[in-house]
Structure 1
Amino acid sequence: MNQQWYQDTYYDEERTYDIAADYYYYENDADDDFGALHPWSTPVENQYSRYMFWREFNLITEQCALPAVLTAYWWSSHVGVTLVASICFRILILFFQRFRCLSNWVLHIVCAACGLAPALISSSTKENGIPHHRWVPAALIVGYMVLLYSISLLTILLERNNTNKKQEKFNAAVVFSAVVLALLVYREYVLDSSRAWQSTRGTHMLMSMKAVALILDYRSGRLNSLPSIAEYTGYMLCAGCAQLGPYISYKQYLQAFRSRPSTYLKNLKQWVAVIKNLGLSMAWFMGSVCYVDWLLDTSYYRYYGIAIAVDTYRRAASYRSGHYFIAAVGTTNAQACGYLSECDERIVTAKPSSVEWPKQMSYVASAWDIPTHQWLKTYVFDKMYSHGKAPIAAAATFAVSCAIHGFEVRVSAVLAMIGGCAYVELLLRKRLAAKFPIIFGKKSNIKKTSLSKTTSRWMRIVINMLFVVLNIIHLSYLGAVMDTSNDTESVFSVWHRCAYIGHLLLFFTYIIAVLL
């Protein structure tokens, strides 16, 4: 009789310890009628299980989480340099506001220098064993900024020599935006894929968004003139947000240089918010790197279907945790620099609660990256909606959203799927409200029926919970394909392994909405 323990080994061979996964005993002998799977259920073993859980947690914290955080947030790392540069910039601004000893153009140049410092200090000097200069990423960033400014000036000069019709001004702005987005697609698919180029992808995307926003604000009258060279440089390379984000408008950028009445308590609250977001970023980072893979270990599950479902959710949760880490770091740096929102409030980059508990898929699209969502709504959807219908505006928003990501295959597929899920969910909710107005219509309809308020309320709760569960499945399905930890897999191998269940659910949901 062959007996076998399902075991899992963590990290490397030097610090190996074996854990019987979920304390299940597997019997391979087919002649043994005792069964193939037996859980341990005695009180003593349950106590041992709790002990092993905390032992694993302590080991992972000591050997994975804490070393990873120290490495990521060290002063010479990209995150550490960006945070230090943001704090130094804020201290300089506070000093200037108190003594007025520097010109404004000097402050803009200093802001650009603080934004460019992480690319110079934290960039690697080797790639595949081949040394290269640290200034290569910074040179690519500055060169792209000069190109954007030149195209902006050329667009304005061409418009001044042209007729003053509003329609032609709008067309010129659209042409400028198309050229900028085409540059992103060009650098994604034509230029080489060296590490220097890959490290500047996010910066180029943010700079393109800022350039489009400036030219559209200038043509619409929100800006009286294009910013000067110093202001343009400071805005494009603004401290804290040049590489990790978030996107900030030109008005938000200027907020950091304006004197605002403040008290000791207000300044204290601001720095407490910075420390809180810094702690949240560390928690999300540790979760993405260590804890998610440990808590959702697929070796605990015997059945293939359950293991695939858990692995899909693990990949998606790891990717989302990494995104929340970047969002929290961006929020920390933006608040440390003193950037404020349009309503003079602290900048918020993402809302993880709205994503992890998705009441509607449309909420997920807005809560995933709030500044980018606002940019798309202001400069794409609203402008296209004023010249056409909502479907055209939605299609244009999807196209521009893919373009700013360089039409990367994974991102484009996920954005298309999110748009489809949001549309089908909205259609289904409208059909349910029209078919069952007693339950899903206005509250006044409840009084006209024999259903009690409690029954109607509970029915709405159940239906909304079904939508939440459906959206969680969709987000797991979509997030798993964004996980690039295994480079040997093809782009959509995760969806193939899941038998394209997300697409099938979307199709069946649409059929239900049509049949109602």
Structure 2
Amino acid sequence: MDDDPEFYADENYFMDDYNQENQYESLGSSPEYENISDVFSLCVIPSTNLISFFILPFLAAALFFRIISYSNYFSSYMFHAISTVLGLYIMVLYALECLHLLLAFIISSYFVLYFPRKYRTGMCVFVPSFLIILYCELFMDPVVWHSCRIIIMTAAMKSISVAVDIDGSSIRMPKFLPYCGYMLCPLNTYFGTWISFKDYLSLRENDETVCLNNWALLMIAGYLCSAFLFLSASNCWVQWFISDKSWMWVRAYRDALSFRCSHYFISFTSSALLSLGGYPLAKSVITKPLKIEFPRSLVEVVIYWNIPMHMWLKKYVFRPMLEQLGKFGAVTLTFSASALLHGVNFQLAAVLLSLGFYTYVEYQLRNIFATTFNACIASKICVRERCEHMYNSQNCKWTVIANIIFSCITIFHLAYLGVMFDGSESQDTGYSYSHTLEKWSELGYKSHWLALASYCVYFLIK
């Protein structure tokens, strides 16, 4: 299964739910700083201080969670109970307006687990979550729903994964308290990182000592330092280096880069919490910025944008649908499912479906080129020791040039797709279709035209 095409992957989180990211982006609302000293004193230091106090309760809750997880003095019952209490504490402290909605979702989703199995197979298991999200989108106050969106989306991903894993006999039917502990886990409920129920339970089976060794402390410190670096980049440095007087495509790249840096801040903060809470390194890696900022392809971007979500989509949507719908159908359904999980929002749907189409075309077209010219220019790079292509970056400069061209095209698409996530007033309620079309029309829809031209080339030569 390792050879499954992975162009569908992280879709959504191509936006990570703007609700939380905007909380931090708004700190750096881009005044004109005259010099580096002004950037530090007026932007970097204030935003760093504010966010430091903001995340301290998360770090304290994660450390306490780790102690409870590894301690033999607490039963599994107490472990789940304390996980629930800590999650409720985080929600009351930071998202009180979402608490009643989350609790209602947890109770209703647990009830769904007792439905007859025929109603929990295939896409049927997604329906209850989609209906609840649709209800919130249509009837909740837009500002409140926008602040709750990522929390409910994460809860939906968790509940769907539990329902599917029960049917697949990967896990047993959970009791209500363990289910609540999982759904309200303080390490990931607020920041929106999916972890499986099996991984959550495995924390009690971990043989590691509760004490943090030097390597673990170093990794946690590294995650936090990276988070704050990307926070300062998003709020301060990007806007300072690239002014509003720059060429429109440079400004588009700036706005998209600022958005991506805010996502990296969220991701590395979440990685620090997962590591501090007891998850191993392999489970705490969420994003890889270098793979995104210097991409080989859009396929790599959607995979490394949010690795846990990529894994969730791959396991619960893409692979089950691949045999029934084929590659294109599975890709379309995967990105559509992601868009629905994020709510009925034109901008998110437009970006995600565009991204799905782009990655599908790129994946197929580059595979044809790689096969035709026997060159290592496919979307995913070959392992050097196992590359069977006649021409690769080690022996052919044209292979290097071709890959650089595709990388530049990917950066172009990222600037175009991310330009609409700016700091306009509509960010608190979600962006409208008019905002999306206005931003893209200013750039002449060039990214879509390029993708369409690529598809025509693919269609003619396939």
Q: TM-score range by the shorter chain?
A: 0.7 to 0.9
8 Å Cα contact 1:206-1:247 kept in structure 2: yes
Instruction: Kindly state the Cα deviation for residue 337 of structure 1 after the two structures are TM-superposed.
Output: 0.7
AA aligned opposite 1:280: S
8 Å Cα contact 1:348-1:370 kept in structure 2: yes
Instruction: Kindly state the Cα deviation for residue 334 of structure 1 after the two structures are TM-superposed.
Output: 0.8
| 2:140 alignment partner in structure 1 | 191
8 Å Cα contact 1:255-1:339 kept in structure 2: no
Q: Deviations over 1:350-397 (max 9, x none)?
A: 111111111011111111111011001001111122444223322221
Q: Relative to structure 1, is the Cα distance of residues 325 and 436 closer, same or farther in structure 2, using a 3 angstrom cutoff?
A: same
Unaligned segments of structure 2, at least 5 residues: 1-28, 379-386, 428-433
| 2:5 alignment partner in structure 1 | none
Q: Does 1:72 align with 2:51?
A: yes
Q: Does 1:498 align with 2:437?
A: no
- What does 1:35-114 align with in structure 2 at a 5 Å threshold? 56-74=35-53, 77=54, 79-94=55-70, 96-97=71-72, 100=73, 102-114=74-86
Instruction: Kindly state the Cα deviation for residue 443 of structure 1 after the two structures are TM-superposed.
Output: 5.7
Percent of residue pairs identical: 25
| 1:288 alignment partner in structure 2 | 234
SS of 1:73's equivalent in the other structure is helix
| 2:332 alignment partner in structure 1 | 395
Q: Relative to structure 1, is the Cα distance of residues 106 and 170 closer, same or farther in structure 2, using a 3 angstrom cutoff?
A: closer
Q: 1:369 aligns with which of 306, 311, 328?
A: 306
Aligned length: 419
| 2:214 alignment partner in structure 1 | 268
| 2:161 alignment partner in structure 1 | 213
8 Å Cα contact 1:385-1:393 kept in structure 2: yes
| 1:144 alignment partner in structure 2 | 105
Q: Relative to structure 1, is the Cα distance of residues 281 and 445 closer, same or farther in structure 2, using a 3 angstrom cutoff?
A: closer
Larger Rg: 1
AA aligned opposite 1:151: V
SS of 1:481's equivalent in the other structure is coil
| 2:415 alignment partner in structure 1 | 476
Instruction: Kindly state the Cα deviation for residue 338 of structure 1 after the two structures are TM-superposed.
Output: 0.7
RMSD of Structure 2 on Structure 1 (CA)? 2.6
8 Å Cα contact 2:299-2:359 kept in structure 1: yes
| 1:318 alignment partner in structure 2 | 258
| 2:20 alignment partner in structure 1 | none
What CA distance in whole angstroms lies between the structure 1 residues aligned with 2:452 and 2:104? 46
What CA distance in whole angstroms lies between the structure 1 residues aligned with 2:375 and 2:307? 35
Instruction: Kindly state the Cα deviation for residue 422 of structure 1 after the two structures are TM-superposed.
Output: 1.2
What CA distance in whole angstroms lies between the structure 2 residues aligned with 1:85 and 1:104? 18
| 1:163 alignment partner in structure 2 | none
Unaligned segments of structure 1, at least 5 residues: 1-9, 20-55, 124-134, 160-167, 302-306, 447-452
Q: Relative to structure 1, is the Cα distance of residues 232 and 413 closer, same or farther in structure 2, using a 3 angstrom cutoff?
A: same
TM-score between the two structures when normalised by the length of structure 1: 0.75
8 Å Cα contact 2:295-2:301 kept in structure 1: yes
Q: Deviations over 1:457-492 (max 9, x none)?
A: 101111111000000000010011233445398233
TM-score between the two structures when normalised by the length of structure 2: 0.84
SS of 1:200's equivalent in the other structure is helix
Q: Does 1:203 align with 2:151?
A: yes
Give the structure, 1 or 2, with the largest relative contact order (CA under 8 Å, sep 6 or more). Answer: 2
Q: Relative to structure 1, is the Cα distance of residues 515 and 324 closer, same or farther in structure 2, using a 3 angstrom cutoff?
A: same
Instruction: Kindly state the Cα deviation for residue 436 of structure 1 after the two structures are TM-superposed.
Output: 3.3
Q: Relative to structure 1, is the Cα distance of residues 231 and 61 closer, same or farther in structure 2, using a 3 angstrom cutoff?
A: same
What CA distance in whole angstroms lies between the structure 2 residues aligned with 1:428 and 1:370? 24
Q: Deviations over 1:182-202 (max 9, x none)?
A: 22122123322243x332221
Q: Relative to structure 1, is the Cα distance of residues 220 and 93 closer, same or farther in structure 2, using a 3 angstrom cutoff?
A: closer
More strand by share: 1
Q: Relative to structure 1, is the Cα distance of residues 408 and 438 closer, same or farther in structure 2, using a 3 angstrom cutoff?
A: closer
